[in-house]
Copies of this chain bind each other. A is one copy, B any other.
Amino acid sequence: MSRYTRQYNEQACHMNKSAASPFRTAQQREVDRASKRDAVLLAAVRLFNERGFHATSLDDVAASLGVSKPLIYHYLGAKDQVLFECMRIGLQQLREAADEVARQPGTGMDRLKRFLRRYAECIMEDFSRCVIRTGDEILAPEIRPQFRALKSEIDQAMRKLIADAAADGSALVTDVKLTAFTFAGALSWTARWHEPGGPLQPAEIAEQMVEILTRGIEP
């Protein structure tokens, strides 16, 4: 089966087996656009993490995907915008982890441990890793307040989990803010030293680090 025939069949399938047409539906175009945008973001974030933001050009990102630079602009805009979008995704993943954990049963300490493990795992993945590897000062000044607001949400979520654990007696905490910075720092640092493919899996690293950190606030 030729590539064209296969695409054509897939399209026909998407159209709920109604009359086959060589034209894609609005929905198919949207799915296609989203998947291309995702591919650009993943290629960009990996280069930003590896070489640093300033040493990466959109030409490099385009070349790594075998496409042209104007296509990147078409999907995402200028390099500042691409970086912000990568960091927004990274922060969104951390935010989702906090929201998910907040709904779970158990003691405050149980929820805190779950969040910290998930936090570390996120940081060892591409997008949240980029949040940590890139200093706020690199972002364009007009984007910075929005980025800091998103980051502050994660910090507040972590502080709330720590405060809740202290409140139900499952943790003993002197200073919630300083404890949050201690935990966030220890786990965020994986963005600087963790190399994928090392002897320990991210889940094992997360588990061991969270064990050391939370033993430090056991009652």
Contacts and interface: CB of A to CB of B under 8 A. Distances in A.
Contacts of A138: 52, 54
Contact of A182 (B51, B186, B200): B186
B208 A174 contact: yes
A208 B172 CA distance: 13
A213 B182 contact: yes
Nearest to A55: B137
Interface string A99-124: 00000000000000000000000000
Contacts of A73: none
Given A215-B215, A216-B213, A137 B51 contact: yes
A159 interface: no
Interface in A165-219: 174-175, 178-179, 181-190, 192-193, 200, 205, 208-209, 211-218
Contacts of A178: 200, 205, 208-209
A200 B178 CA distance: 10
A22 interface: no
A208 B54 contact: no
Nearest to A52: B137
A179 to B, nearest CB: 6
A36 to B, nearest CB: 28
B212 A182 contact: yes
Contact of A190 (B54, B133, B185): B185
Given A52-B135, A186-B186, A181 B208 contact: no
Contact of A185 (B51, B186, B200): B186
B208 A212 contact: no
A51 B54 CA distance: 14
A182 B190 CA distance: 8
A142 to B, nearest CB: 15
Interface of A: 50-52, 54-55, 133, 135, 137-138, 174-175, 178-179, 181-190, 192-193, 200, 205, 208-209, 211-218
